[in-house]
Amino acid sequence: MSYSYDDQNIFAKILRGEIPNTTVLETEHTLAFRDIHPQAPVHVLVIPKGPYVCFDHFALEASDAEIVDYVRAVGEVCRMEGLEADGWRLIANAGTNGVQEVPHLHVHILAGRVLGRMLAKG
Ligand code: AMP
């Protein structure tokens, strides 16, 4: 499987500064910002700055430095948002069956209420 990255996706535009965002954390290789349509009291998206379509693409082609930075940033956001006590959920959608809308890797961090079971029907 080879992935092709569409640099006109909305998160690429955010990374280029063409669209505003509400930044939670920025590191050398990673940006975390609030989801524009939050589905929980805390809904933060964490994206690598590099052009990766999905988690598998990132795992295949990102450098160790990018991967370490990204994983640590996810944890740091959880701590910054004070999520340790009550918990949170990470979701990374990929492709058609994953119903991924934006083709740039992002992890959703959801928290602030009981989130229900992992999958809804339908
Ligand atoms: P997914 O379905 O996993 O691709 O999720 C894409 C997410 O991006 C959705 O939760 C959207 O609400 C969110 N989103 C789309 N455009 C923006 C934006 N300009 N700023 C912040 N979040 C956005």
DSSP calls for the chain: ------TTSHHHHHHTTSS---EEEE-SSEEEEE-SS-SSSEEEEEEESS--SSHHHHHHHS-HHHHHHHHHHHHHHHHHTT-TTT-EEEE---TTTTT--SSS--EEEEESS---SS----
pLDDT of residue 122: 64
Cα–Cα distance, 114 to 79 (Å, whole number): 18
Domain 10-111, architecture per CATH: 2-Layer Sandwich (3.30)
Task: List the domain boundaries for the chain.
Answer: 10-111
Triad 53, 93, 26: Cα angle to 5°: 65
Mean pLDDT for the chain overall: 97
Of the residues 57, 104, 106, 108, only one is catalytic, namely 106
- Asked whether residue 90 carries a pLDDT value surpassing 80, the answer given is yes
* For residues 65-85, average pLDDT: 98
Q: What is the mean pLDDT of residues 70-87?
A: 98
Q: Is the pLDDT of residue 1 over 80?
A: no
Residue to mutate, 9, 19, 39, 45, ligand 1, most ligand atoms under 8 Å from C-beta: 45
Is the CB of 40 inside a 6 Å radius of any atom of ligand 1? Answer: no
